[in-house]
Structure 1
Amino acid sequence: MKKPLLIVAAVFAVMVGILLWWFSDSQVIKRNTRNLAATLTIKLDDNKSTRAMKSQDFSALLAPSFRGSVDTDNHQGVITKDEAISGHQFLAFKCQFSQANVSEIEITRIEDNRATVTAQFEISLTTSGGASYSDEADGTLVWMRTKDEIWVLESAKLERKSP
């Protein structure tokens, strides 16, 4: 009778450990960073509904006070949340496809309700007119935990990739 109890206890302990790891702040922040790149990826065969849902998912990742800063070969400027959402909607409905990849995700600081992440971004897109653009950038993202315990992007800074 003790052997089945030990097996159940071991399985329970493993499941609790996996759940604690999966829902830890660092794992949630890394998943959100990868989800951000996924919302910027538009496939050639994505229909209008899928593209609209990606815009909705993108919007949900941004804090109301979101501020972005971009200094890459193809774009420079500062953007607000509304401008970011409008830009994403334009991207979703006016480009043939886009691809965003994020790598080397590193959480450099987590304290209280804020986390700073550095990552490498590669973004490419082809417009409906056939023009292609691509950029590589070093990204610094600041994630903020809301009162509802949801991590949202407070700021993003993309700069030309260091040589």
Structure 2
Amino acid sequence: MKKLLIPVVALVAVVAVLLWFFAPEQVVKRRTGKLMSILTMEETGGKNARQLSSLGLGGLVADELELETPTIEEANGVHQRTDIESGFGGLARIANFTKFEVVEYHTITINGEEARVNATIEAIVALPAYRPADGLYEVELDWKKEKDGIWRLSRAKWQETR
């Protein structure tokens, strides 16, 4: 009986970890972390590494991405994935560095095939002449689970924390 107990307990523990790991909340949280990682470009990073990183952005973004921000008026609206990739590629070429980091997750809400992440992030975008982003921002990220089973960003809204 004791010999059977150890494998059963181990199996239950493995199943519990897998259920937690693949829970939609955890998947969306990891996707959000990956988004922040891709958006971050080190000052010492080479141009080629930045361009490779920008290619990873396409896998996280839906075919159409809606952006809402009071700080960069030109960014507002619905944009095609290719436009987002192109714009980020341009940023990768000119930025001195960028930093995006989740400071705190407030809520992660799953509603079927849709998810919303509300969080505070620290964002810095350092361009040669100025910093269009430098500080804490409240973000609302909407993710949609697409036909291929992958969660992709469909909407991003942010505003500076007051």
Same fold (TM over 0.5): yes
User: RMSD of the alignment, in Å?
Assistant: 1.8
> Counterpart in 2 of 1:26?
25
Distance in 1 between residues matched to 2:26 and 2:118, nearest whole Å: 14
State the 1:41 CA deviation. Answer: 0.5
SS at 2:92's partner residue?
helix
Distance in 1 between residues matched to 2:131 and 2:156, nearest whole Å: 24
Kindly provide the amino acid, as one letter, of the partner of residue 37 in structure 1: M
Percent of aligned positions that are identical:
28
TM-score (norm 2): 0.87
> Counterpart in 2 of 1:137?
137
Distance in 1 between residues matched to 2:99 and 2:135, nearest whole Å: 11
Note closer, same or farther for the CA distance 1:136–1:3 as it changes in structure 2 (3 Å cut): same
State the 1:36 CA deviation. Answer: 1.0
Residues 118-152 of structure 1: CA deviation (Å, up to 9, x unaligned): 1112211322x364451432111111001111100
Residues 86-108 of structure 1: CA deviation (Å, up to 9, x unaligned): 22111212122111111222335
Report which stretch shifted further, 3-12 or 148-157. 3-12
Q: Which runs of 5+ in 1 are unaligned?
A: none
SS at 1:67's partner residue?
strand
Query: Does 1:89 pair with 2:68?
Result: no
TM-score (norm 1): 0.86
Higher strand proportion, which one? Answer: 1
Q: Which runs of 5+ in 2 are unaligned?
A: none
Note closer, same or farther for the CA distance 1:130–1:78 as it changes in structure 2 (3 Å cut): closer
Aligned residues: 158
